[in-house]
Amino acid sequence: MASHMTNYQLPLKPPRKLHSCHFQSRSSCSFNKQEPAQNSTGFQFIRRKKLLSDLTTWGIGGPCNYFVQVFDPTQLVSAVRYCNEQSMRFMILGKGSNCLFDDMGFDGCVILNRIEFLEKIESGVYRVGSGYPFNRFGVVSANEGFSGLEFAAGVPGTVGGAAYMNAGANGQETAAAIDSIEIITNEGESRMLKRRELNFGYRLSPFQEMKDLASITAVTFRLNFSKTAREMQQEYLARRWRTQPLGQRSAGSVFRNPSSMGVSAAELIEKSGLKGLRVGGAMVSNKHANFFINCGSATSQDMLELIGLVKDEVNQKFGVELKE
């Protein structure tokens, strides 16, 4: 999961742009001039050599035009401003666990979020950098006896990404533990938003519709003490290992569970007889039908076609249009 995500629909024939649930700047592109890797910001930009397949859990994607890593909010602001000054499209990536990149790559700048600090404000209150691994934070908080994010130990994204999509499992969701969120805008302005100002829903957050959002930079969580937090987390993790193909390359659940149906997307896919369905190197997992696996050679087109086939079959059989 990168740090920052947007609702999306994956077309069957991918255009040459990013497909992910991460924010993508709407700035226009201009790459006619050859710019040096080193620039006035002091950052080292990598030009056309960084493969996006190396940055995502699906392991799919061509090169990006520019690539840079940032390690604190100040660097992130500088990188965003530089991209704006150069009229360069950009997107901010975390762990890449909810992203499908085109094999042609991304014709802009990918800013890798490495803002990974963890601060203990008071008992049960943590301020965490948006690039901090969400699963690591879940383990830390549960080991210290605090409940609310036990499920996070099994989520291979970042804190910012979890807040952006309101990640959840096992009856828990990220929003319930949030106290405040710090963001920066496309203009480089910093803001802090309290939880009462933010409306979350199932895999939804207000950030997905925030037109001027560049990135979440930090999240403050307020958790409750529980003697059983660590035990509960171990149960959740054991259940994941039993039911999900965690050792294979996937992006987690591809589809949201349909609302008000009492049936999961995985059940609908399985009842449609689609487990094991394969397009090229992309396959519906035999272990969990809502996990689509890169068997080692999957292209973005393979994965898009597989997603489309599954959506069509489930819609024909059950009259349900699955949403990515």
* DSSP assignment of 207-249: GGG-TTEEEEEEEEEE-EE-TTHHHHHHHHHHHHHHHS-TTSB
Show Cβ contacts of residue 286 under 8 Å, excluding neighbours closer than 6 positions.
Answer: 275, 276
**CA contacts within 13 A on the Cβ side of 205:** 30
- Which percentage of the chain shows pLDDT scores above 90? 80
pLDDT digit string, tens, across residues 98-142: 999 999 999 999 999 999 999 999 999 999 999 999 999 999 999
pLDDT beyond 70 at 281: yes
pLDDT beyond 70 at 6: no
pLDDT beyond 90 at 290: yes
How far is it, in rounded angstroms, from Cα 284 to Cα 270? 9
Q: How many residues does the chain have?
A: 324
Can you tell me whether residue 291 is helix, strand or coil? Answer: strand
pTM: 0.84
Token reading at 92: 């901010």
pLDDT digit string, tens, across residues 217-228: 999 999 999 999
How far is it, in rounded angstroms, from Cα 285 to Cα 184? 38
pLDDT digit string, tens, across residues 21-77: 333 333 333 333 334 345 545 678 899 889 999 999 999 999 999 999 999 999 999
Note the pLDDT of residue 42: 66
Show Cβ contacts of residue 237 under 8 Å, excluding neighbours closer than 6 positions.
Answer: 153, 154
pLDDT digit string, tens, across residues 238-250: 999 999 999 899 9
Note the pLDDT of residue 44: 82
Token reading at 295: 């068997």
